[in-house]
Amino acid sequence: MNELLQYFQRELPGINGFLDAEADKLNGLVKGVAKHIIGSGGKRIRPMLTLLFARAMGYEKDDYHAIACSLELLHSATLLHDDYLDDAELRRGRTASHLVYGRTETILAGDALLALANEMAARYGQARLSWLLAKGIMETATGEIEEIEFSKDPSLDRDKYMEIIIGKTARLIECACRCGAALAGATPEQEDAAGEYGLNLGIAFQLVDDALDYASPTSETGKPEGGDLREGKVTLPLILLMEDGDGAGSEALLDALKDCSLTGAQCEALLEQVREGRYSEKTRDEAAAYVEKAKACLDGFAPGEELTVLRQAADYVLTRTK
Amino acid sequence: MNELLQYFQRELPGINGFLDAEADKLNGLVKGVAKHIIGSGGKRIRPMLTLLFARAMGYEKDDYHAIACSLELLHSATLLHDDYLDDAELRRGRTASHLVYGRTETILAGDALLALANEMAARYGQARLSWLLAKGIMETATGEIEEIEFSKDPSLDRDKYMEIIIGKTARLIECACRCGAALAGATPEQEDAAGEYGLNLGIAFQLVDDALDYASPTSETGKPEGGDLREGKVTLPLILLMEDGDGAGSEALLDALKDCSLTGAQCEALLEQVREGRYSEKTRDEAAAYVEKAKACLDGFAPGEELTVLRQAADYVLTRTK
């Protein structure tokens, strides 16, 4: 993982500096929120993927920051609206923006970051980049809506779950990869290969996220253990547990999730069953298959530093613990 | 005004039909909100201006709906977030969306309409159209933020007021006009002339809106008379009143607006002073100057039905009573 680490260490300051400079230009009412969410860490995986694919396809210019960072801003905008609507208290271990800055500032900062992301993508005067970002925004908004709809009427349907995680996470990561390829003037086939890598990586990323939620203590992820279950969110570990059961408890569980009437003791019992059945690990195993699919998409790419890093990034998604 | 009326009557069904069909494709969670705001009337002035400029510049194809309607959707998205953040009860005489459908649905519908607007503009594969829409979204978001910032710290500064109304209203109307010109493949000079028309028309439109707020009974505008004042909003009629005074009451008024501590009786007294001093009419007089500026921008355009309608549209802005 040496190359991955080195690449990130080399490129992160430029990406963070660009994000900071763009946030600084925003109106005072929303600037604090923007800097709070941008400064709260995050792995910058989206901008990094844009850069990696652009470079992997031979792009040598240094003007990649605007399109790369637009993906990060779009992601941040989504987090702001999501956290507000979820009444979330924490984001990446820090107090959520709406609790620090207020609802008006947070909603408007989300709008401003979305607008800025879009404007940054349009700076290149390339219709393809604008189209990709427009599609990414549309898919992300739809994914967000479908997730909330699902949370109001949860099911233990694996297909539905996959649809949700693709919409809320994987499409934007696909978009980041496609943008890098498009910036480099890739052929449609090359762009599709980049997109396919991103889609599979994104699915794996979210599967691991959902696995971690059942597995890791608060200190590492910044989120309480079993938080998804406590919030009534159905994710793969729970679906796997129920698939292995006799189905007797499923209806009752869904009703309890829908009404938010799951007691603390019921939660603990379910968490214990997930641990015993190793469903978090089994979810990771499913993620591993998507990581392999992602790596296979790289077969046609020329060898080089970026290709090495893209392979390591896929592996990292699987091994991360926070 | 015959030609204006005929043009609108001929084109409105197509525009409304397109907006409806696009809203129908949205997820069920937000579809109701989208249809509520789209179906609540509105003059469709933005899509109509896009169409008029495209046609005035010789565009003959029938694929103008997506770009024209994108401006209307962007406007609708702004209204949804604005009304929610303002705790508004009414929009165009109907119950505001967030009170009918809830906050989550309303915020997400705003996000979805913004995303859809953007995607619709990108469908043409023309970088200029995407750039114009991206800029329009950015300016509208900024305008919205500046207006809220101004409402938290109001002043009687006419320049600031002009900046606010340009940001919140005129830039998007400018954008609609520019999009029509760009769709028709206009030269930069032609696009600028269209934009200039829109900017001046938009300023006049908002000035008349602010004048109407002090002048018309609820039944015509769907808003309570003097609503802006009651909400603590500083607009031109109030600025004109204060400019004519000795300045003694200005500080106290601003403090009261900031604290929302203006009593009913104080409001009535101010409304009476605005009526007596004819400041609503004086605001309209200022609007008239912008309407003339707008019409002057049309000098270079070829005569024809669209030019006639664009002139009449400018005059209509001034004479409308709701």
Range with the lowest mean pLDDT among B6-15, B69-78, B166-175, B208-217?
Answer: B208-217
> Does A134 sit within 8 Å of B118, measured CB to CB?
yes
Per-residue pLDDT at B145: 87
Classify residue A303 by its DSSP letter: P
> Does A118 sit within 8 Å of B138, measured CB to CB?
yes
Range with the lowest mean pLDDT among A112-126, A144-158, A199-213?
Answer: A144-158
Buried-exposed string B106-145: b where 16+ CB fall within 10 A, e elsewhere: bbbbbbbbbbbbbbbbbebebbbbbbbbbbbbbbbbbbbb
The whole-model pTM stands at 0.89
Task: Kindly state the average pLDDT of the residues B73-80.
Answer: 92
- CB-CB: which of B114, B124, B128 is closest to A114? B114
CA distance B163 to A269: 59
Write the pLDDT tens digit of every residue in B123-160: 999 999 999 999 999 998 888 888 888 888 888 889 99
- CB-CB: which of B111, B112, B130 is closest to A127? B130
Q: How far B294 CA lies from chain A's nearest CA (Å)?
A: 27
Percent of chain B with pLDDT over 70: 96
Q: Which residues contact B105 (CB under 8 A, 6 or more apart)?
A: B29, B30, B32, B33, B97, B98
Write the pLDDT tens digit of every residue in A23-57: 999 988 889 989 999 988 788 999 999 999 999 99
Per-residue pLDDT at B181: 98
Write the pLDDT tens digit of every residue in A55-83: 999 999 999 999 999 999 999 999 999 88
> Does B107 sit within 8 Å of A118, measured CB to CB?
no
| SS3 readout for B121-148 | HHCCCCHHHHHHHHHHHHHHHHHHHHHH
Residue B222 has pLDDT above 60, yes or no: no
> Does B29 sit within 8 Å of A144, measured CB to CB?
no
The residue length of chain A stands at: 322
Task: Kindly state the average pLDDT of the residues A173-199.
Answer: 97
CA distance A161 to A207: 10
Which chain B residues are within 8 Å of A149, Cβ to Cβ? Answer: 27-29
Check if A25 contacts B (Cβ < 8 Å): no
CA distance A168 to A146: 8
Write the pLDDT tens digit of every residue in B262-311: 888 888 888 999 999 999 999 999 999 999 999 999 999 999 999 999 99
Write the pLDDT tens digit of every residue in A86-140: 888 888 778 888 888 889 889 899 999 999 999 999 999 999 999 999 999 999 8
| Domains of chain A, residue spans | 2-319
- CB-CB: which of B115, B134, B135 is closest to A138? B115
Which chain A residues are within 8 Å of B124, Cβ to Cβ? Answer: 127
Check if B117 contacts A (Cβ < 8 Å): no
Phi/psi at B191 (5° precision):
-65, -40
Q: Which residues contact B258 (CB under 8 A, 6 or more apart)?
A: B152, B153, B154, B232
- CB-CB: which of A27, A125, A149 is closest to B127? A125
Greater confidence (A207 vs A226) lies with: A207
> Does B126 sit within 8 Å of A131, measured CB to CB?
no
CA distances from B235 to B51, B165, B275 (A): 31, 9, 14
Q: Looking at chain B, which residue has its C-alpha nearest residue A125?
A: B127
Check if B82 contacts A (Cβ < 8 Å): no
Helix (H, G, I), strand (E, B) or coil at A95: strand
Best of B73, B131, B132 to substitute, by most chain A Cβ atoms within 10 angstroms, is B131
CA distances from A255 to A153, A239, A258, A266 (A): 9, 15, 5, 13
Per-residue pLDDT at B48: 97
Residue A320 confidence class, pLDDT cut points 50, 70, 90: confident
Q: How far A46 CA lies from chain B's nearest CA (Å)?
A: 19
CA distance B31 to B53: 31
Task: Kindly state the average pLDDT of the residues B89-105.
Answer: 84
Per-residue pLDDT at A264: 85
Per-residue pLDDT at A162: 95
> Does A145 sit within 8 Å of B29, measured CB to CB?
yes
CATH of domain A2-319: 1.10.600.10
Task: Kindly state the average pLDDT of the residues B160-188.
Answer: 96
CA distance B105 to B255: 36
Residue A197 confidence class, pLDDT cut points 50, 70, 90: very high
- B124 Ramachandran zone, left/alpha/beta (phi>0; psi -120 to 50): alpha
Percent of chain A with pLDDT over 90: 61
Greater confidence (A286 vs B93) lies with: A286
Per-residue pLDDT at B89: 83
Q: How far B317 CA lies from chain A's nearest CA (Å)?
A: 29
Residue A220 has pLDDT above 80, yes or no: no
Q: How far A82 CA lies from chain B's nearest CA (Å)?
A: 9
What was the ipTM of the complex prediction?
Answer: 0.86
**What's the whole-number average pLDDT of chain A?**
90
Q: Report the first-to-last Cα separation within chain B, whole angstroms.
A: 16
Task: Kindly state the average pLDDT of the residues A288-296.
Answer: 97
**What's the whole-number average pLDDT of chain B?**
90
Both tokens of residue B233?
């909003």
> Does B118 sit within 8 Å of A138, measured CB to CB?
yes
Per-residue pLDDT at A222: 56
Per-residue pLDDT at B94: 85
